Structure 1
Amino acid sequence: MQDPRAFLRSLFDAAVARALPAENIAAHLPAPPRGRTLVLGAGKAGGAMAAAVDALWPAGAPLSGLVITRYGHVPPAYAARPGRIEVVEAAHPVPDEAGLRATRRLIELTRGLTADDLVLCLISGGGSALLSLPAEGLTLQDKQAVNKALLRSGAAIDEMNCVRKHLSAVKGGRLAAMCAPARVVTLAISDVPGDDPAIIASGPTVPDASTCADALAILERYGIDVPAAARAGLESGAFETPAPGDPCFEGHALRLIATPRQSLEAAARRARDQGVAARILSDEIEGESREVGKVHAALARAVARHGEPFSRPCVILSGGETTVTVKHKGGRGGRATEFLLGCALALQGERGVYVLAADTDGIDGVEDNAGAIVTPDTLRRAAAQGLKAADFLDRNDAYSFFAALDDLVSPGPTFTNVNDFRALLVL
């Protein structure tokens, strides 16, 4: 087998490649309608999805639209030679004025649609922040404050998006209602545990079974204050979203073009092709990043020391979306690096164990890395520099720890997003 670092990186690359829109979207495109086709969308993969649709859609068929993606997430070739679908960049994970302006423009495009028209919605992770239009009575500043509080709280993604969609004028199925009477086909890349389309980007085109009461309960659970107008809208039920069975969804379709499980399976195939047994734990793992890291470390130790529950050599793969409860605002790092620091401390230099964790969109939180790598000598090399791993973990500063060791994984934006990727190699 090649060098363990290179091996793990090759698995991450295989997982990302499986989720690229250009490789997956063709089989899911509907036929052109009698009328025009309007493309709308939001998410970290939005630019790459728009480029793929533009390349595959018949040259003579009407095609136009607007897709919102994160800053720096437009594929270079499409940025250099824009096509028929406009791609606008905005902020993530906290919405900004650019996202608000783009969302208003996107909504304007839905006016005048007819039953002969098709709306092709391109949805991927990150769309909750990028597709941003506050509910009536709320301001962008209100939404920004709530978003920041949710991100610091340690709430799970389904909880965060329940609140987000009920404080939005466009998410939670409301975009679908705006597109009536046109037919809507949603092409989505899943970045959430369980692949629930109502959670992906807060489900702008699909029914929402959650309620205002659910959103209020989540805010109470995490002690998050909201503006008086937000509380009033939730308590009165004025911010309820279109529920399953609402006629605005009649005739609509949703197609998942890439999922976390598919990417883990692609990584497993790459490992087996190189003669290493691969085991997939789950693509739905949630929880505090550092605690999930400890559990993964315990499993790796059992394999290394006892050959149970798997024989070595092997690679153990998992995905999902962990969370970080931020207790020190001055620290740097995201879910992947915090997972790795918790894992490294629990492993305590276990021989033959190497770990890579990274976000498949290429960005771990708001930093410039996707993740990092832990090796058997990580803690020893850190100690030689006077770095105490536990101190960095206490400060939520995992990025700085791995940067000092030159162990960051920094591919740049990948133009897709199927969330967390973790690989533990036990030799």
Structure 2
Amino acid sequence: MQFDDATARAALRRLFDAAVAAADPRVVLARHLPDKPAGRVLVLGAGKSAAVMAAAVEDAWPDVPMRGLVVTRYGHGHPTRHIEVAESAHPVPDEAGATAAQRMLTLAAEAREGDLVLFLVSGGGSSLTTLPAPGLSLADLIAVNKALLASGATIHEMNCIRRHLSAFSGGRLAAAAHPARVVTLAISDVPGDDPTVIASGPTVPDPSTFDQARALVAHYRMALPDAVTAHLAAAADESPKPGDPRLGTPDYRFIATPQMALEAAATAARGLGLSPLILGDALEGEARELGTALAGIALSARTHGHPVAAPCVLLSGGETTVTIRTTPPGRGGRNGECLLGTTLALASAPGIYALMADTDGIDGSEDNAGAIATPDTLARARTAALDPRALLAAHDSHRLFSTLGDLLTTGPTLTNVNDFRAILVA
């Protein structure tokens, strides 16, 4: 297949759509359900996919009486018949999320031996269930969340801190549901698919400590509210640890992961005559720097046929970080920033196209999933009187791709397996 601008754009969008479809709860959830229980079924959940996951449970078990509550991001709701859906804010939490988290703890505490508690978890769950530990306020945790997002900390590090400021995460929900059976169905949005990191692990033991949380705050020089600093120093309410009898051996089932999504995109690529190479599902680091590295691999493929010969596509997932260096920052999420870094490093090399986007349909706090870059992106930007390097320095990738008409806008996809990156070398 010959690739020009139109066919390359269409191919990249097809790969993105294949990745998202592979993580659609309506398709994949049912086969991961446990056997139908004899007792009551309580469905709880948190994340950007929580509502559609709840609907998938109802569809799979139409003859099983159930009740429950899930919380999702505003605008990510989905019709359900028996399970209540609440909505709250992301990435900066609000009172609605705290209320939903407290209600879920109360419902979990009503579960009895012989009951089944299904916990449906997906990306965004940490912010959506921000319930302050005793002595802390929601305003305190909102300040912490803003500091975390601007710090450059990885998602693993962020959630270590969050677990030690929460009354909900770090195994506390499962502890509240004891002695009922708890089964977690998860869509992973984190590098390495670590259950303690997905939504800060409400149903699994937390191996991290207050000491580690304090060390991370110091390392990133975060300025936190006095009450938060005092809470971390007191270390009076440690999270449930491995071996805690209330949690037993967690029954934790992945229904979708970044690797599964990348493999689906690879299959679609072969159908387009492209040789796919999955570089990894857990690539992390500063977004713009990863973008430079990915450009180098693409240039090697084009010039030398290594690590894969053209026509090919380089696929990767994971979650990058953006360390804010300007005040105020411009607009744009980590995928836009990574893509702009790639575009600058490619320096208008012919025959190389790229798409980078968040599989939940929202890159950061913007209304686009990501963007597409082509060999003439830099030329078109300069024609539009834009300075791509200055925009990257200002964290203003959204302005560039929006002006050029190259934003990828999908709306909420109702799933989330983190970042998706595809670089097509024609």
Q: Does the aligned pair in 2 maintain the 1:183–1:251 contact within 8 Å?
A: no
Q: Does the aligned pair in 2 maintain the 1:45–1:73 contact within 8 Å?
A: yes
Q: Does the aligned pair in 1 maintain the 2:109–2:178 contact within 8 Å?
A: no
Distance 2:262 2:307 in 1: 19
- Equivalent position amino acid for 1:247 in 2: P
* 1:409 alignment partner in structure 2: 408
Q: CA RMSD of the aligned region, Å?
A: 1.1
* 2:49 alignment partner in structure 1: 45
| SS state at 1:247 partner | coil
Deviations 1:354-400 (A, max 9, x none): 00000000000010000000100000001111111011111111011
* 1:235 alignment partner in structure 2: 233
Deviation of 1:83 after TM superposition, in Å, equals: 1.0
Distance 1:396 1:136 in 2: 37
Distance 2:190 2:346 in 1: 28
Q: Relative to structure 2, which stretch is displaced further, 326-335 or 88-97?
A: 326-335
Q: Does the aligned pair in 2 maintain the 1:167–1:239 contact within 8 Å?
A: no
* 2:355 alignment partner in structure 1: 356
2:140 to 131, 137, 142: 142
Q: Does the aligned pair in 2 maintain the 1:187–1:254 contact within 8 Å?
A: yes
Deviations 1:132-183 (A, max 9, x none): 1101100000000000000011110000000011100010001110111111
Q: Does the aligned pair in 1 maintain the 2:286–2:322 contact within 8 Å?
A: yes
Deviation of 1:287 after TM superposition, in Å, equals: 0.2
Distance 1:333 1:371 in 2: 9
Deviations 1:229-257 (A, max 9, x none): 32233223213111111111125411011
* 1:392 alignment partner in structure 2: 391
* 2:151 alignment partner in structure 1: 153
State, as a whole percentage, how many aligned pairs show the same letter: 57
Q: Does 1:35 align with 2:45?
A: no
Segments of 5+ residues of structure 2 without an aligned counterpart are none
Distance 1:157 1:150 in 2: 9
Count of paired positions: 421
Distance 1:399 1:301 in 2: 25
* 2:202 alignment partner in structure 1: 204
Normalising by structure 2, we get a TM-score of 0.97
Q: Relative to structure 2, which stretch is displaced further, 98-107 or 66-75?
A: 98-107
* 2:69 alignment partner in structure 1: 66
Deviations 1:322-344 (A, max 9, x none): 00111233410001000011111
Distance 2:226 2:339 in 1: 40
Q: Does the aligned pair in 2 maintain the 1:183–1:252 contact within 8 Å?
A: no
Q: Does 1:176 align with 2:180?
A: no
Deviation of 1:111 after TM superposition, in Å, equals: 3.0
- Equivalent position amino acid for 1:126 in 2: G
Distance 1:230 1:283 in 2: 34
Deviation of 1:33 after TM superposition, in Å, equals: 2.1
Distance 2:197 2:144 in 1: 18
Q: Does the aligned pair in 2 maintain the 1:184–1:251 contact within 8 Å?
A: no
Distance 2:322 2:195 in 1: 23
Deviation of 1:316 after TM superposition, in Å, equals: 0.5
Distance 2:60 2:387 in 1: 52
Deviation of 1:31 after TM superposition, in Å, equals: 2.2
Q: Does the aligned pair in 1 maintain the 2:12–2:355 contact within 8 Å?
A: yes
Segments of 5+ residues of structure 1 without an aligned counterpart are none
Distance 1:30 1:58 in 2: 15
| Equivalence map 1:363-382=2 (5 Å) | 363-382=362-381
Q: Does the aligned pair in 2 maintain the 1:272–1:278 contact within 8 Å?
A: yes
* 1:313 alignment partner in structure 2: 311
Q: Does the aligned pair in 2 maintain the 1:288–1:325 contact within 8 Å?
A: yes
Q: Does the aligned pair in 2 maintain the 1:289–1:336 contact within 8 Å?
A: yes
